[in-house]
Amino acid sequence: MRLSFLPRIRVSRIIPSVVLCITFHLFSSAAGADVTIQVANWAGAAGLVLEREIAEEFMKLYPHIRIVIESIPYSYKEKIMISIAAGSPPDVFLLDSVILPTFINRGLLVDLRPYADKYGVDLSMYFPNVLEIAEADGALYAFPNNFTPYVMYYNKILFDEAGLPYPHEGWTWEEYLHLSRALTMDTDGDGKIDQFGTVFENWLPGWIPWVWSNGSDVLSSDGSTAEGYLNSSKTEEALQFLIDLRIKHGVAPHGRALVGAGGTQTGGTASLFFTNRIGMSPSGHWWLSTLRKYIDAGDLQIGVVPLPVPEGGEHATVMYESGWCVPESGKQIPEATLVAAFLGGEMAGRIRAQRGIAIPAIRSLAEEMSQKDILGLEATFLNEVQYSRQPWGTLVEEFSRVEKISQDAVDQALIGGRNLHEVLTQAVSEIDKTIHKYEGTPETWAQTNTGAEVMTLLQALLIILVITGLVIILMIKGKERKKLVAGLSFLYPSMIHLVIFVVTPLLFAFYLSFHQWNIILPNKPYVGMENFRQMLSDQYFLNALKNTAIYSLHVPMGMAIALLIAMLLNRKMRGVNIFRTLFFLPSVSSFVAIALVWTWIYDPQFGLANYILSLLHIKPLGWLSDPAMALISIMIMSIWLGIGYQMIIFLAGLQSIPFHLYEAAEIDGAGWWDKFSRITLPLLTPTTFFVLVTSMIGSFQVFSSIYVMTRGGPVRSTDVAVFHIYQNAWEYLDIGYASAMSWVLFIIIVAITALQFKLIPREVDFE
C-alpha cells in the first residue's frame, strides 16, 4: 500500500509505513471501535469547509480513524494553552511561527521526527527555512502547513491612469516615496484627498522588514535585550520614514483604530486598496484569496513586487508560516501523529493549493502553483523565500508583549505626536523588563493541579455551609425548627449556586493575587504583595483606571436623557407602547452586534456619523482613530445603549407617583418646573438611586464595546480596567497579576457603591 499523500517516499521507508498501517488495522479490529482525533485550527467558514474535505480524504484511507475539525477563530493561542493546562487538548492543532516557540520551550509538543521516519515522510520536500521554524535541538515539532513572505501589492489601474512605471525588484525607498506622491490626489475636485499612494499600518511584522533592510533590528541577536536595537538610529530612521508617509508627506490615509485582519493597531484600510483608492499596500499571500473575485471581475488589476530597500540596504522580508503539532499530553499520539503527517503532506497541500488560499510549504506544490498562475503573482512570493526571515516570536517567548509595547510606542509617535526616540527609549526599558521577568522560573511543563485546588476550596466552603445550617437548626427548638428547616430548604439551592459560581472563584482569585502564575508554569510561587506593588508602578494599569473613571461620567448624562424620554412617554396616547419598545430594544440586543454596528457608523470613510457632519459642512472626525475622540465615541454609544433600560426604570418610578399631588400643585399655581423640581425629582429619589448605583457598577465593568471597537487603542486611550485585566489574564496569561488587578477593581467598585449609599438619600416620604 502506498501512502499517496506523501511524495517521494524512499524504498527503505515503505516497509515501516506498511507495518504501521497493518498495526492500525489490527488495532481497529481488536478494539471494535473507531478512534476519534480532534483537530483544531483558526479557519474561517471557507477554510473550515476545505479542512473537512481534506479530513474526508484521510478517512477514506484510514476508515478506523475519525477526524473532527474544530475551528477557533478568536483567542486561539489562549484557548489551546488552557486546554493543555486542563489536560484535555485537541489531538492535533495548528500553530503559527509567532506562538510555536512558547509551546516548544515549555516541552508541550511531541517530537515528530521519529514519526516522520516511521511514516516515510521526506522532510526535504519542504522549503528549508519553512521547516526551520519547526525544528529545535535536532527535534521536529510540526509538519509544515503553509507560509507567506511579506510583499508589496500595487494597483496597475491607478499606475496606468497616472502614467507611472510599475515598481520593480530592487527599487528604493526614494522611488517608493516618489510613486506614492504621484498617486496621491484629489480625484473629484472637492478639495479632499481621496486617492492615496500607499498605506502604513502599525503592525510589527509589517514594519520590521523595513528595519531589517536598514541594517537594524528590534532585539539583540540572542533576543536578550532591546537596548541599542529598537532605539538605535537605524531603527528610528526606518520607522520615521514610515510614519512620515502619513504625517509629513500625506501619502497614506489615517486608518480606523481597529485591530485589522493582520493585527494592526491603527489600520484596517485594506478596503481602500480593493476599491482602487490605494496605489500600493504591503501585505501577505492571504490577500490573494480575497482579491481574486475583484481580479476575475475585471475591477482590479494588481501586481506584486518585493518591498523597497534603502539606498545600499539589504533585501529582507518577514516570513509567516504555520504547522501541524501534536501535544505531549495527548491521549492518542500514534493516531494523532499520522493525522498531522497527512495534514502537512502532499495530498492535503494539493487540495489547499488548488483553492489558492495559501502557499504550500512543500516546494514542488508551491512551484506547480506558481507555474499555473497566469498573472505571475505567485512567482514573486516564491522568489522572496530566499530573503525571508523568521519574526522574533520564533525565539522570544514573551514576544506578544514585546510586540504590543513596540506598537504602542510607534502609535504614540504616529498618532500622539510624541518624539520617536523618546517613546522608543521608554519602550526599550519596558521590553527588557518583560523579557527578563520570568528568569529563574522552571522551564519544564507540568499539568497544573489548579482543578484540585479549586475543588478543595469548594468542598471546604460547602462543608462550612452545611455545618452552619445544622448548627442554626439545632439552636432552634420546637415548632420554629420546622419552619426554619422549610425556609433553609428553599434558601440552600441558591446559596449553593452562589458558593460554587461566585464565592469560590472570588476567593481563588484572592489566593492567586498573592502568587505568580501564568498558567503554563507547573507551580505558583508565593510573591506576597509583589503583584500589588507592581500595580503602583504600572502606568498602563493606572491609565486604565483613569480611563474607566472618565468613562463612568457618561452615566449621569445618560440618566438625564433617559428621564426626559421617560417623562415624554409617561402619558396616554396612541402608539406610546411602540415607542417604549423601540427605545428599550437596544438593551436586549447583543452587545457585540451593537458594537459592530457602531463601528461602521464611526467609519471615517463610509460611516453615517461623518456623513451627517458633511451635510452640516463640518470637518469629518476620527471617531475611533483620534485619541482625543475615541473614548468619547464609546461613551456616546454607551449612552444610546443604556437609555432604554434606564427609561423603563424611570417610567416605573414616574407611574408610582400619586397623580393627585400634581393636581394639588396646579391648583396652587405651580408651573412645570415647580412640579418637576418639588414633586417629580424628590419622589423619584429611590428610583434615581437604583439606576445610578447599578449603572455606575456597570460602567466600571465595561468590556464588550472596547474589545470589539478599539481593543484599547489608539495609544491606549480606551484601555479600561476590565479590558486591561483581560489582556493580562488571557493574552499574556499572567493570571496572578490579573487576579490582583481584579481585586483592586472590586474594592474600588465596593468603595464607590458604599459612598453612594452614604451620601445619596434612598427614602422618600409621600405624606
Orientation angle between helical segments 204-213 and 233-246, nearest 10 degrees: 120
Res 33: pLDDT = 44
pLDDT, mean of residues 85-101:
87
Backbone dihedral region of 629: left (phi > 0), alpha (psi from -120 to 50 degrees) or beta? alpha
Res 199: pLDDT = 92
Res 76: pLDDT = 86
What 3 state SS string does 696-731 have?
HHHHCCCCHHHHHHCCCCCCCCCCCHHHHHHHHHHH
In the predicted structure, residue 694 carries a pLDDT above the cut 60: yes
In the predicted structure, residue 288 carries a pLDDT above the cut 90: no
In the predicted structure, residue 10 carries a pLDDT above the cut 50: no
Choice between 361 and 44, residue whose per-residue pLDDT is larger = 361
% of the chain with per-residue pLDDT over 90: 49
**pLDDT (tens digit, 9 = 90+) per residue, 615-629?**
998 888 889 988 899
pLDDT, mean of residues 399-403:
84
Q: What does DSSP assign to residue 586?
A: G
In the predicted structure, residue 524 carries a pLDDT above the cut 70: yes
In the predicted structure, residue 268 carries a pLDDT above the cut 90: no
Contact 219, 427 (CB under 8 A): no
pTM: 0.80
Res 496: pLDDT = 87
Contacts of 123 (CB under 8 A, 6+ apart): 116, 131, 140
**pLDDT (tens digit, 9 = 90+) per residue, 312-368?**
999 999 998 999 999 998 889 999 999 999 999 999 999 998 887 789 999 999 999
In the predicted structure, residue 707 carries a pLDDT above the cut 80: yes
Choice between 309 and 448, residue whose per-residue pLDDT is larger = 309
Res 765: pLDDT = 63
Domains and CATH numbers, the chain: 11-149+321-369 (3.40.190.10), 450-518 (no CATH), 535-759 (1.10.3720.10)
Whole-angstrom distance, CA of residue 112 vs CA of residue 338 = 10
Amino acid type, 721? A
Contacts of 205 (CB under 8 A, 6+ apart): 98, 150, 262, 263, 318, 320, 391
In the chain, the N- to C-terminal Cα span, in Å, equals 95
Res 533: pLDDT = 92
Contact 265, 713 (CB under 8 A): yes
**pLDDT (tens digit, 9 = 90+) per residue, 114-126?**
999 999 999 999 9
Whole-angstrom distance, CA of residue 713 vs CA of residue 607 = 19
All cell numbers assigned to 339? 493525522
In the predicted structure, residue 520 carries a pLDDT above the cut 90: no
What 3 state SS string does 377-405 have?
HHHHHHHHHHHEECCHHHCCCCHHHHHHH
What's the pLDDT band for 581 if we cut at 50, 70, 90?
Answer: confident
Choice between 655 and 290, residue whose per-residue pLDDT is larger = 655
In the predicted structure, residue 693 carries a pLDDT above the cut 60: yes
pLDDT, averaged across the chain: 85
Weakest mean pLDDT among 24-28, 384-388, 555-559: 24-28
pLDDT, mean of residues 581-603:
88
Contacts of 632 (CB under 8 A, 6+ apart): none
Weakest mean pLDDT among 50-64, 217-231, 666-680, 753-767: 753-767
pLDDT, mean of residues 485-495:
85
Res 651: pLDDT = 93
All cell numbers assigned to 176? 517608493
In the predicted structure, residue 451 carries a pLDDT above the cut 50: yes
In the predicted structure, residue 18 carries a pLDDT above the cut 70: no
Res 429: pLDDT = 92
What's the pLDDT band for 438 if we cut at 50, 70, 90?
Answer: low
pLDDT, mean of residues 84-103:
86
All cell numbers assigned to 263? 493585527
pLDDT, mean of residues 24-37:
56
3-state class (DSSP) for residue 304: strand
Res 653: pLDDT = 92
